[in-house]
């Protein structure tokens, strides 16, 4: 049973475009929602994270939008660059310290 559902599985965006990746969860005990970026051959690295008391968080070109009532959150990458081509994972964590990740989105940014 997937605790966090992520879509799309893959995404192709033109350079300069906006990349949008969506995640949904069911367990209202989750209270921390990070996004991780993974390049081929590397481990995931934290990109940006949000708490459910905030509806939006922006760091540079990366923005998380959070809809608590719908139990959904999304990652927006503005002005997408070829260097952003990677796999992105959303995750959800509760106070019990168990981490649940989405299934991943492979992003390709075409020059």
Partner 1 sequence: EAQVTQNPRYLITVTGKKLTVTCSQNMNHEYMSWYRQDPGLGLRQIYYSMNVEVTDKGDVPEGYKVSRKEKRNFPLILESPSPNQTSLYFCASSLSNYHQETQYFGPGTRLLVL
Contacts to partner 1 by CB under 8 A: 3, 6, 9, 31-32, 41-46, 49, 51, 89, 91, 93-104
CB-CB contact of 81 with 109 (8 Å): yes
How does strand 10-14 pair with strand 19-25?
unpaired
CB-CB contact of 33 with 90 (8 Å): yes
Closest approach of Cβ 99 to partner 1, in Å? 5
Measured from the CB atom, is 41 or 111 closer to partner 1? 41
Closest approach of Cβ 63 to partner 1, in Å? 19
* Residue 88: DSSP 8-state: E
Measured from the CB atom, is 31 or 79 closer to partner 1? 31
Q: Measured between alpha carbons, how far is 87 from 43 in angstroms, rounded to an integer?
A: 11
Measured from the CB atom, is 9 or 111 closer to partner 1? 9
Closest approach of Cβ 31 to partner 1, in Å? 8
Contacts of 69 (CB under 8 A, 6+ apart): none
Measured from the CB atom, is 91 or 109 closer to partner 1? 91
């Amino acid at each position: 049973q997937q605790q966090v559902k992520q879509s799309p599985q893959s995404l192709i965006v033109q350079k300069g475009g906006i990349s949008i990746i969506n995640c949904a969860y069911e367990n209202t005990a989750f209270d921390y929602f990070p996004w991780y970026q993974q390049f081929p051959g590397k481990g995931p690295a934290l990109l940006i994270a949000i708490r459910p008391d905030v509806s939006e968080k922006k760091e540079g070109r990366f923005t998380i939008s959070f809809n608590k009532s719908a139990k959904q959150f999304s990652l927006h990458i503005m002005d997408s660059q070829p260097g952003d081509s990677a796999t992105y994972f959303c995750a959800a964590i509760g106070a019990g310290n168990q981490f649940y990740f989405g299934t991943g989105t492979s992003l390709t940014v075409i020059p």
